Amino acid sequence: MNTIPNIISKILDESKVGNPWDNSPYKNLLRLTIDARGKVGEVISSEACKTNPALEINEDISDVNAKGDNTHYDIKVNNKYIEVKTAYRDSNNAWQHENLYKNSDNCDYILFVDFDYEGIHFSIFKTSDLPLGCDSELFPGKHGTLRKNKDDGYKLDFSRRTLSNFKNKHYQYMSAEEATLENIGKFIGKELLNYDNVRDFP
């Protein structure tokens, strides 16, 4: 029967464009709330650090969560405070990160866990190296956006160009097959132990 709802459904079917996330091993990430997506990155990072014997977990996410909402970090490893930011590739081919704090006393590093269709982009930077209200040689021409009516708390988006500009400085892309907890733990360990010396990864 040629009813209006049927006409709409037919045209919708004809105009559908394949979503690149449909065949992604991480497609269920998009079904989660923002907070739940953030938890995915936090759990991955915490569990990955536990696989690296060179890393000492001073506080995992459950320890930090028990302290309440006044902390600006998610895990404490080798006495370093680490905030984990999780994002997925959006329709503009960008990864959006919110609530980055420049003047936090308890955030030494920020670990970015950025999901792509077939893999994950990992990068970790000292908070002082991020372009939050200042220039950064690691982010040429890029600056975070200060949230409205705030003295601190920035939004920092990564594009494909941003990731390519890292040129493997504190950055590693892992395919879905490569992104095991052990490999992620090795990456985090290499950075935390050698941040000021290691620039290029094999």
pLDDT value at position 16? 65
- The CA distance from 167 to 201, in Å, is 9
Structure tokens at 188: 């985090």
**Residues 114, 95 contacting (CB under 8 angstroms):** yes
Please tell me the distance from the alpha carbon of residue 145 to that of residue 120, in angstroms, as a whole number.
Answer: 24
Question: What is the reported pLDDT for 8?
Answer: 85
Q: Where are the domains of the chain?
A: 22-194
Contact criterion met (CB below 8 Å) for 111 and 84? yes
Q: Which residues pair with 88 in a beta bridge?
A: 115
What band does 1 get if pLDDT is binned at 50, 70 and 90? Answer: low
Residue 200 has pLDDT above 60, yes or no: no
| DSSP H or E stretch at residue 112 | strand 109-115
- Contacts with 43 (C-beta within 8 Å, 6 or more apart), sequence order: 61
Q: Is 91 exposed, middle or buried (0-12, 13-18, 19+ CB in 10 A)?
A: exposed
- Per residue in 66-102, pLDDT tens? 666 666 789 999 999 999 999 999 999 999 999 999 8
The top-scoring range by mean pLDDT among 97-106, 143-152, 171-180 is: 171-180
Residue 60, classed as helix, strand or coil, is coil
